[in-house]
Structure 1
Amino acid sequence: MTTLPAARLPGRYRIAFICSGNICRSPSADVVLEHLLGEHDLGDRVEVVSGGIGDWHVGNPMDPRSAVALSDRGYDPERHRAQQVGPGWFERDDVLLAMDRGHHDDLVRLGGADRVRLFGDFDPETPGVEVPDPYYGGGDGFEEVLDMIERTCRALVPHIERALAGR
């Protein structure tokens, strides 16, 4: 069973979601998990961020198709601005959750093997699944990705609670 790394600071946890350009998958996961943490009264103890392996979209808002999919389900995607993951993230973040194996391998090469996990390893329906990149497809792909993200983020909450408790 996949587990989250222990918290660096007692009673606090910082999660980073990572994808290619930080405009589709990782920011969607960021928005969904923050919402769920608020529902579980964990928002003041857990910080969520997202970043991209590449710098192509740094400073840009989320892809409009991702934003629409999130908005249609009651989430607020407006605050997001793309950023690129850097070496300092491995000292700052408790876990970096890669959206696919390519991102996972990139993060490990950057020096974060002990803090990197595949997001899909926490998917309750298909453990180990990669979250597909919807960028070059139609609107349905964004809905399917959001379905995966919602169920996996729901499954992450108990893992976060255990990590906060030191278990």
Structure 2
Amino acid sequence: MAEGAFRAAAQTRALTCALDSAGTASYHRGSPPDPRAIAVAQRHGIDIAGQAARQVERDDFYRFSHIIAMDRANLEELRTRAPRDATARLAMLMDAVEGERGQPVADPYYGDDAAFEAAWQHINRGVDGWVEKLLREVAQQSA
């Protein structure tokens, strides 16, 4: 859901960036998003049905300027995997939201449709914060 939400927010705000979503575990590799996630995103006008899960790769730590985790466990796993000379900055999604730094996005997988909707709302707050943060970074680099 986060990739779809981020793509939409970036497009709306004319932020040009390369982005992709990946997990730290390999067990969903190649699978589409959960049908409940697809339905929630679709209700918000975003199609994520064509996405496929992949696992974080070593090159990601150089290819992207930021790698954003949804919770502390995944952030710690990313820190463990990051090469010593990695250039990507690691953070959590909610770090860009005033008053929510370090807060996880609850995994809705074992919940009902309402849990997926709540996760969508939480994700969108984080995405909006990151898009604004990245736009400020781009403006500072251009100045």
1:49 and 2:20 are equivalent in the alignment: yes
Structure 2: runs of 5 or more not aligned: none
How far is 1:88 from its partner? 1.2
1:74 and 2:48 are equivalent in the alignment: no
Structure 1: runs of 5 or more not aligned: 1-27
Q: How many residues align?
A: 138
Partner in structure 2 of residue 121 of structure 1: 95
How far is 1:128 from its partner? 2.2
Distance, in Å, in 2 between the alignment partners of 1:161 and 1:106 is: 27
Q: Superposition pairs for residues 20-31 of structure 1, below 5 Å?
A: 28-31=1-4
How far is 1:123 from its partner? 2.7
Supply the AA of the counterpart residue of 1:58: R
SS of the counterpart of 2:76?
helix
Kindly indicate which of the two structures has a greater share of residues assigned to helix. Answer: 2
Tell me the TM-score normalized by structure 2: 0.89
1:37 and 2:10 are equivalent in the alignment: yes
Distance, in Å, in 1 between the alignment partners of 2:30 and 2:104 is: 26
How far is 1:124 from its partner? 3.5
1:62 and 2:33 are equivalent in the alignment: yes
Question: Percent sequence identity over matched residues?
Answer: 28
Runs of 4+ with >3 A deviation = none
Partner in structure 1 of residue 73 of structure 2: 102
Q: Deviations over 1:90-147 (max 9, x none)?
A: 0111100010000000000012676210112123453321011111111111011000
Distance, in Å, in 1 between the alignment partners of 2:89 and 2:129 is: 19
The match for 2:116 among 127, 133, 142 is 142
SS of the counterpart of 1:97?
strand
Tell me the TM-score normalized by structure 1: 0.77
Supply the AA of the counterpart residue of 2:37: S
Q: Deviations over 1:16-47 (max 9, x none)?
A: xxxxxxxxxxxx111011111111122xx211
Asked if the contact 2:93/2:130 (under 8 Å) is kept, the reply is no
1:93 and 2:67 are equivalent in the alignment: no
Distance, in Å, in 2 between the alignment partners of 1:126 and 1:90 is: 25
